[in-house]
Homo-oligomer: A and B are copies of this chain.
Amino acid sequence: MSQRKGRPPRISRAEVVETARRIVDEEGVDRLTMRRLAKEIGSTPMALYHHVRDKERLLVLLLDDYAARNMHRPELPDDPRERVVVVAAAIRRTLAACPWIVEVLTADDLMSEAALWFVEQIMDGLIECGLAPDEAVHGYRAVWYYTVGEMIVRAAGERRRADDDRPTYRERVFAEVDAAELPRVALVARRWAELTAEDTYLDGLRALVDGLTAGARPGGGGERRTP
């Protein structure tokens, strides 16, 4: 069409994101700096700022890129409640595999084009269980909160276990628990680390989805109960 005015670009946003992805994959998110990225791309730090607003935005672009490449759509069960569970678990499985995710989740939501299919399925399952569209949005959000929280707490726990000199502090708190004052906690204090290391994501998710859909009367294509 029309001749673009000004100097032709030497690097592109796609190239910036791609190079950033390579650095993060190979060396971890800590090694991704604007200077390092510029060097890798054969340019200067400031050239990057013509293609991404700032570093935080770059991280969000990286997450969207990751989602587009890695979020594979699972087979959908017929039961709407189970559908919500399966889809949420698929989101979590994909995101949990990418260790730098926590950096981005604290900066922004996952709400790229690639992710919307998953949102659609969760909302659809909830609506089929009898929730109104607005309630389904809030239901989706509840599932998302639970999933984000699980990923972040798990990542923190893993990091803590990696720095293996650290146990002392938490363990001391638990060792000093007064069984008269805190009988329930005292009962499990010794096994706390072991119990919280278990992966119970699915159990909690099922409970949440059950709770969200209990009491709503199903409709919208699913089985229907007597009114």
- Per-residue 0/1 for A182-216: is the Cβ within 8 Å of any B Cβ (1 yes, 0 no)? 11110110001001101010011011111110100
Residue in B closest to A122 when the chains form the complex, CB atoms: B184
Interface flag for A74 (CB, 8 Å): no
Q: Report the minimum CB–CB distance from A134 to chain B (whole Å).
A: 6
Instruction: Determine if B214 and A182 form an interchain contact, defined as CB atoms under 8 angstroms apart.
Output: no
Binds B, one of A11-19, A22-30, A36-44, A144-152: A144-152
Instruction: Determine if A155 and B203 form an interchain contact, defined as CB atoms under 8 angstroms apart.
Output: no
Docked complex Cα distance between A181 and B114 (Å): 12
The contact size tier of chain A is: 35 or more
Residue in B closest to A105 when the chains form the complex, CB atoms: B152
Instruction: Determine if B137 and A144 form an interchain contact, defined as CB atoms under 8 angstroms apart.
Output: no
Docked complex Cα distance between A148 and B204 (Å): 14
Residues of B within 8 A of A196 (CB): 137, 141
Instruction: Determine if B141 and A145 form an interchain contact, defined as CB atoms under 8 angstroms apart.
Output: no
Q: By DSSP majority rule, is chain A's interface helix, strand, loop, or mixed? A: helix
Docked complex Cα distance between A141 and B146 (Å): 10
Residues of B within 8 A of A198 (CB): 138
Q: Report the minimum CB–CB distance from A187 to chain B (whole Å).
A: 5
Instruction: Determine if B149 and A145 form an interchain contact, defined as CB atoms under 8 angstroms apart.
Output: yes
Q: A123-B188, A136-B184, A207-B211 are in contact. List 17 more A-B contacts (CB 8 A).
A: A102-B106, A105-B153, A105-B156, A106-B106, A109-B153, A111-B173, A113-B176, A120-B182, A127-B184, A138-B195, A138-B200, A141-B153, A145-B153, A146-B149, A147-B149, A148-B148, A149-B152
Interface pairs A-B: 5 shortest CB-CB:
A149-B149, A211-B211, A207-B211, A142-B204, A145-B149
